[in-house]
Structure 1
Amino acid sequence: MTVGDILDLLSTCDRDTPVRLAINPFFPMAHRLGCVEMAVDEHGRPMVYIAESPEAEQIGPLPPAVAVALTWQDPVEAPPRRRRGATGPNAGQ
């Protein structure tokens, strides 16, 4: 992915929308973005790095729909509920 790809993807978003970084497909968490740094890689090519916030703050678990959209997990449906029988001292009367 290039800077142009990111700009194209973000160009459809409202400029005031907060951005989160999705981390770790095996334990998907959301993090606040910190800074963007330009550097040169080991081959002399320009690179851009996006870092998490200096506080390294996890916002919390990634919403399940986002983890599914990233293909980090399969869609999950709640198991069907079955009707439970009555309980207690007067059950079944």
Structure 2
Amino acid sequence: MTSPEMTVENLIDLLSGCDRSAPVRQAMNPFFPMAHRLAQVLQSVDETGRTVVYLAEGPDEGAQLGHLPPEVAIKLTWQGPVQAPPRRPRRRAGA
């Protein structure tokens, strides 16, 4: 079963609680989480005739910003929290 699609109204509602001066990023690929700079909002029609809005990254090389911050990937449930392994006592030379 597919989840319902987010609408423009849903997006506006979610964005209304955000800092209006903050840059917008797009998180992509849960298996290799990367951050992308958004540059365009395009409205089109899909194959069924339904209006669809696309958020697109820019065409420049700097549109892909690098790895998604781990705390964002964790909040998206794309990865679990990672903790350092427990420390073991050091071995002593000659012991």
Q: Quote the residue 1:83 is aligned against.
A: 89
Q: Quote the residue 2:8 is aligned against.
A: 3
- For residue 31 of structure 1, give the secondary structure of its aligned residue in structure 2: strand
- Number of positions where the alignment pairs a residue of Structure 1 with one of Structure 2: 89
Query: What CA distance in whole angstroms lies between the structure 2 residues aligned with 1:64 and 1:4?
Result: 28
TM-score with structure 2 length normalisation?
0.84
Q: CA RMSD in A?
A: 1.6
Q: Quote the residue 1:66 is aligned against.
A: 72
- For residue 10 of structure 2, give the secondary structure of its aligned residue in structure 1: helix
Q: Quote the residue 2:53 is aligned against.
A: 48
TM-score with structure 1 length normalisation?
0.85
Query: What CA distance in whole angstroms lies between the structure 2 residues aligned with 1:81 and 1:20?
Result: 37
Matching of residue 21 in structure 1 with residue 26 in structure 2: yes
Which aligned runs of 4 or more in structure 1 are off by greater than 3 angstroms? none
Gaps of at least 5 residues in structure 2 are: 1-5
Query: What CA distance in whole angstroms lies between the structure 2 residues aligned with 1:53 and 1:24?
Result: 17
Query: What CA distance in whole angstroms lies between the structure 2 residues aligned with 1:84 and 1:55?
Result: 50
Query: What CA distance in whole angstroms lies between the structure 2 residues aligned with 1:61 and 1:3?
Result: 27
- Deviations for 1:13-44, whole angstroms, at most 9, x for unmatched residues? 11001111001001000010010000011111
- The structure that has the greater radius of gyration is 1
| Cα displacement (A) at 1:86 | 5.1
